[in-house]
Amino acid sequence: MNQGKKRRLKRILQKDNRTVIVPMDHGVSMGPIKGITNMQSIIDQLLKGGVDAVVLNKGVAKRVELDNAGLIVHLSAISTLTPNANNKV
């Protein structure tokens, strides 16, 4: 495994074999999530709570700061807001 991949995986996989990953990519498939108006603020709270990584869609990932936390980008999505919700794009 190359050094870049090792470095990125270290942000997600902890030495104690315990990892907390929080999915925050629901907005694409479900539309805006009630109560979440500032994604950066929510992510900051998660990181203070000890989360190791977050799952974000690429649009949100470009707009937030994660410091040294792990980032997992969800690159495809299904939207329940479309007439044909079974097609993943």
Please tell me the predicted confidence (pLDDT) of residue 85.
60
Mean pLDDT of 63-78: 84
**Has residue 28 been placed in a domain?**
yes
**Has residue 55 been placed in a domain?**
yes
**Has residue 88 been placed in a domain?**
no
CA distances in angstroms from 40 to 2, 22, 34, 67, 89, listed in the order given: 31, 14, 15, 12, 26
| Residue 61 reports pLDDT greater than 60 | yes
Mean pLDDT of 4-19: 83
**Distance (Å, rounded) from C-alpha 81 to C-alpha 67?**
33
**Has residue 85 been placed in a domain?**
no
Category of 35 on φ-ψ map: left (φ > 0), alpha (ψ -120 to 50) or beta:
left
**Has residue 16 been placed in a domain?**
yes
pLDDT by residue (tens digit) across 15-60? 887 899 999 987 777 777 888 889 999 999 999 999 999 999 888 8
Please tell me the predicted confidence (pLDDT) of residue 65.
92
pLDDT band at 10 (very low <50, low <70, confident <90, very high): confident
- Name beta bridge partners: 22: 54
